[in-house]
Amino acid sequence: MSQPSNRVFSGVQPTGNLHLGNYLGAIQKFVALQDSHECIYCVVDLHAITQPFSVWGGPEKLPGYTREVTAAYIASGIDAERHIVFNQSQVAEHAELAWIFNCVARMGWMNRMTQFKEKAGKDREKASVGLFSYPALMAADILLYRATHVPVGDDQKQHLELTRDIAAKFNNDFADQISKLGHGDEYFPMTEPLIEGPATRVMSLRDGTKKMSKSDPSDLSRINLTDSADDIAKKIRKAKTDPEPLPESEEGLKDRPEAENLVGLYAALAGCSRESVLADFGGKQFAEFKPALADVAVEKLTPISGRMRELLDNPDHVDSILQDGAQRARSIAGQTMREVRDIVGFLS
């Protein structure tokens, strides 16, 4: 199979509480890439089960959460006919390639992953082996489609570096077979992360030093994609700030994490730069800025949440989108795995 030159892959975990960070850091970028790239967007349910059910809900919640992420993709503007939208567990090749990558990646590399340390917490002995080897599955997700670009939030940067390390080691370990079988010098591409714009790391509304997160116990810390206009306005009104007015330039945002976060949110939602937000609001109090931010957030998010509700009222339709996407994903993944099995030396 020839290497595609502009194929995007990315995913979101169906673990509930889909929030503005997931939208601005990932989904909004997925939408923007559709005209220039061939896109594959996945609901990564195999990743969801790496965390204890007590953290995110477990098997009873998973079907609904999977449909919720799918609905968010479609409601945000992803075209599932032109591109591929599916859930990971329907394409068994993800798990198969992840196993091979578990045997390529080194313990030392995995031990350096900060997300494992954060998610495992103090009691690492009780973390699942799946949580530890999560980055090998993520590398498999991306490289199964030999994706060239991966749009993600800033928190995934380290995992994407590991994906490149795994691809490079595989290409090197199996170099003779790769060239003998006519795949040239490298089988897997060096995937480029796409981590750009004013909202690559959206912070909690309650603490500007913490990432906005699905698992934060405070619902006031995040804006959920399913929040009503009133909820959005209330959460922004209650967002933590400092007593100073907004600065006139970006320099003045230094050491003001909450102000920096809210300005970044406004810029990302309104599609402008942080400088232009400060040109309009520099010198003004948060009492004036917050209602304006709430307006842009409501304007952007309420059509999405309305469309999500319509889609979720018709689960059969959502499931058919995923089944159709899985069938198309399987045809690419199947081809990659046939080649990888040959390269590794498995008899078929």
Give the footprint of ligand AQP on this chain (CB under 6 A).
12-13, 21-22, 25-26, 152-153, 155-156, 200-202, 211-215
Q: Which residue has the tokens 């990432």?
A: 211
Could you tell me the smallest distance in angstroms from the CB atom of residue 276 to ligand AQP? 21
| CB closer to ligand AQP out of 160 and 167 | 160
- In DSSP terms, which residues pair with 19 in a beta bridge? 224
Could you tell me the smallest distance in angstroms from the CB atom of residue 270 to ligand AQP? 17
126 is catalytic: no
| CB closer to ligand AQP out of 247 and 264 | 264
Whether 144 contacts 333, CB under 8 Å:
yes
Could you tell me the smallest distance in angstroms from the CB atom of residue 27 to ligand AQP? 8
DSSP 189-227: --PEEE--STTSSPBPSS-TTSB--TT-S-GGG--BTT-
Query: Active site residue: 29, 157, 214, 238, which one?
Result: 214
119 is catalytic: yes
Q: What would the two tokens of residue 144 be? A: 């199964």
Could you tell me the smallest distance in angstroms from the CB atom of residue 279 to ligand AQP? 25
**HSE, side-chain direction, 13 A CA sphere, residue 38:** 12
Could you tell me the smallest distance in angstroms from the CB atom of residue 79 to ligand AQP? 20
| CB closer to ligand AQP out of 153 and 343 | 153
Query: Active site residue: 29, 61, 117, 119, which one?
Result: 119
DSSP 28-70: HHHHHTTTTSEEEEEE-HHHHTTS-HHHH--TTTHHHHHHHHH
| CB closer to ligand AQP out of 147 and 178 | 147
Amino acid letter, 294: A
- In DSSP terms, which residues pair with 211 in a beta bridge? 203
Query: Active site residue: 211, 235, 290, 300, which one?
Result: 211
Alpha-carbon distances of 123 from 303, 310, 318, rounded to whole Å: 42, 42, 38
Task: Please provide residue 347's backbone torsions phi and psi, each rounded to the nearest 5 degrees.
Answer: -75, 140
Can you tell me the distance from the alpha carbon of 132 to that of 111, in angstroms, rounded to the nearest whole number?
Answer: 8
Taking CB atoms, the residue at the shortest distance from ligand AQP is 25
| CB closer to ligand AQP out of 215 and 249 | 215
Active site residues: 119, 211, 214
